């Protein structure tokens, strides 16, 4: 039973630190940021306490200071201003639409905002993890994983990642067709070629901003340190990246063929075998996007894809990873 599990990398008493991130700037749909608020209102904190966790939750991060700094610095700078200048009757757009103070770089949308938000999330997650707590990040969209995984790897450099998702989210600036950064976090974390093409153009332009977005991200994630489960909607450019880098991925086809029990064992064995010290237990960060689940189970997500995990399969993945005693970071991207 899960109550007997002794977490190997967390300090006693086991503490879950909720990092509420109602942020949706990595994609254009409105409402995607509401997930964390609903989860907490539905009683997540109490439920974790009933499971024996000590829970820390200081409210959701609104990132208002970041939006304020970005928008006011654009007023005093030569930042290219979009044609729609805000007036009293046109309030500053929410983070789900294009902001005049954060024009696209190449086709990447909201690059400055997403970069700053993820940088902040990385610091918060790393702070909790270094104290021996389990950071539980509630999103929001999956661009946030640039922050959460950077934070986990800062505290546990040899951690492996299990990424449960319908999508691979490994587009680069060169391959993305949508320009939505929620489809790109894994490539940024790996520092894959092409990421910074749009940014080097940006740097070479006479932009007033000395800070190139995403320059803070260290390529901390090795291609052999991640395993996907649940893939079924992968772009052509992403398929090429996965293949060329021999990245381990279990699609829904694999789940059907082997069953979820075997798939999770294979994922864990793969990560442990690729540990710097394969005889030692490897810390695990679980990044769970609810769109991995079938839309009949989780319909309220920005990018639903038919043919997903059942309710039990989704739960099983979480239960089994917890059972290893190796969990050090958890993302629950409720609306991606």
Ligand X SMILES: NC(=[NH2+])NCCC[C@H](N)C(=O)O
Q: How far is CA 75 from the centre of its chain?
A: 31
- Between 241 and 326, name the residue whose CB sits nearer to ligand X: 241
Binding mask 131-170 for ligand X (x = CB under 6 A): -----------x------------------------x-x-
Q: According to CB under 6 A, which residues from 81 to 120 bind ligand X?
A: none
Q: How far is CA 5 from the centre of its chain?
A: 26
278: left (phi over 0), alpha (psi -120 to 50) or beta: alpha
Between CA 158 and CA 274 the distance in angstroms is 10
The answer to whether 33 contacts ligand X (rule: CB under 6 A) is no
Burial class (CB in 10 A: 0-12, 13-18, 19+), 158: middle
Between CA 305 and CA 139 the distance in angstroms is 19
Cβ 178 to ligand X shortest distance, Å: 3
The answer to whether 187 contacts ligand X (rule: CB under 6 A) is no
- Between 302 and 329, name the residue whose CB sits nearer to ligand X: 302
Q: Which residue is nearest to ligand X (CB)?
A: 183
- Between 251 and 303, name the residue whose CB sits nearer to ligand X: 303
| Best CA proximity match to 250, nearest among 269, 232, 228 | 228
Q: Can you tell me which of 178, 207, 300, 310 binds ligand X, judged by CB under 6 A?
A: 178
| Residue in this structure with the two tokens 């546990």, named with its chain if needed | 156
- Between 159 and 164, name the residue whose CB sits nearer to ligand X: 164
DSSP label of 3: G
Q: Can you tell me which of 119, 133, 254, 289 binds ligand X, judged by CB under 6 A?
A: 289
Host H or E run for residue 267: helix 260-273
Query: Which chain residues interact with ligand X by CB under 6 A?
Result: 142, 167, 169, 171, 176, 178, 180, 182-183, 235, 289, 291, 302-303, 336
């Amino acid at each position: 039973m899960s109550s007997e599990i002794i977490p190997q990398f967390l300090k006693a008493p086991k503490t879950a630190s909720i990092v509420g991130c109602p942020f949706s700037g990595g994609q254009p749909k409105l409402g995607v940021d509401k997930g964390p608020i609903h989860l907490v209102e539905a009683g997540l904190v109490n439920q974790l306490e009933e499971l024996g966790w000590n829970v820390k939750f200081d409210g959701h991060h609104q990132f208002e200071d970041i939006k304020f700094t970005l928008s006011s610095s654009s007023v005093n700078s030569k930042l290219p201003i979009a044609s729609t200048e805000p007036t009293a009757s046109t309030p500053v757009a929410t983070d789900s639409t294009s902001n005049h103070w954060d024009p696209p770089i190449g086709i990447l949308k909201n690059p400055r905002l997403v970069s700053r938000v993820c940088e902040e999330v990385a610091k918060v997650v790393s702070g909790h993890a270094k104290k021996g707590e389990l950071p539980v990040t509630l999103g929001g969209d999956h661009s946030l994983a640039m922050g959460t995984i950077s934070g986990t790897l800062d505290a546990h450099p040899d951690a492996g990642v299990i990424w449960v998702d319908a999508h691979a989210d490994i587009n680069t600036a060169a391959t993305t067709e949508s320009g939505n950064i929620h489809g790109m976090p894994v490539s940024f974390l790996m520092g894959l070629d092409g990421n910074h093409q749009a940014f080097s153009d940006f740097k070479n332009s006479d932009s007033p901003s000395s800070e190139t977005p995403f320059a803070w991200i260290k390529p901390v994630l090795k291609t052999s340190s991640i395993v996907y489960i649940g893939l079924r909607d992968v772009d052509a450019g992403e398929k090429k990246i996965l293949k060329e880098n021999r990245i381990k991925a279990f699609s829904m086809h694999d789940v059907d063929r082997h069953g979820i029990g075997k798939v999770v064992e294979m994922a864990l064995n793969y990560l442990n075998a690729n540990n710097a010290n394969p005889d030692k237990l490897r810390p695990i960060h679980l990044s769970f996007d609810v769109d991995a689940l079938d839309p009949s189970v989780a319909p309220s997500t920005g990018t639903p894809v038919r043919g997903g995990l059942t309710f039990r399969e989704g739960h099983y993945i979480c239960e089994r990873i917890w059972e290893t005693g190796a969990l050090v970071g958890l993302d629950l991207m409720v609306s991606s």
